Amino acid sequence: MEINGASSAASQTGRQASQDADNLANTFDDFLLLLTTQLQNQDPLSPMDTNEFTQQLVAFNEVEQSIKTNDRLEQLIDLQLGNQLTDASSYIGRDVEAESEFLSLDGGQTTLTYGLTAAATRTTIQIQDASGLVVRTISGETEPGLHRLDWDGTDDDGGQLPDGVYRAVVTAVDSNDAPVSVATGTVGRVTGVEIFDGQVMLSLNNLKIPVSKVVSVSETAAGT
């Protein structure tokens, strides 16, 4: 589901348009002040050359039009984000799988997905808390392909960890101890949507995921 480019590009374009508009507005104000001062202080017996004055008015008009163009661009980007937010609201209450190395532990349950590009002889999954401390180490699957791990939120000593956001670091090596490429993801139920920093974000309880990172959507089982 590649809304990526649109959302990310909209975010970057929006920020750039806002910066350009500010720069143009400053240029416009400075130009207007300079032109007004020039007119006020010109020698009545030797007025400004007509061609030079015309060129300055043309430049004045171009700056003004550029400011209006940037304002319209910002309005279009805001409208696009609003439409994306409306579309993303359809995810609420549904289960999604998204590219992420972070997990949202809720009610002592969360799900990690990881994909190996080739066979491995050893796969290690380390779960880190918010401070970066490794709280759980798990041996993972070694066959190539996509794998799923349902973590019950317990640490290496069997103690139950509090709900919240955790990070999963998955590493794998082959028979020559060379690293095998691994892609990680998370599965969770969407509890809300919002716009943050120019991107449409899905809330998986405490975890925020860009809608552009969603790779699959499924209906929530009845009664869950």
Measure the N-to-C terminal CA separation of the chain; round to a whole number of Å. 25
Query: Tens digit of pLDDT for each residue in 111-153?
Result: 999 999 999 999 999 999 999 999 999 999 999 999 999 999 9
CA 184 from chain center: how many Å? 17
Where are the chain's structural domains? 4-91, 95-218
As given in the structure block, the two tokens for residue 141 are 């699957």
**26-41, pLDDT tens digit by residue?**
555 666 666 666 666 6
Q: What is the pTM of this model?
A: 0.63
Q: Which residues contact 60 (CB under 8 A, 6 or more apart)?
A: 28, 31, 32, 35
Which residues touch 78 (CB under 8 Å, ≥6 apart)? 14
Which class would CATH give 95-218?
A: mainly beta
Among the residue ranges 5-9, 208-212, 219-223, the one predicted with the least confidence is 5-9
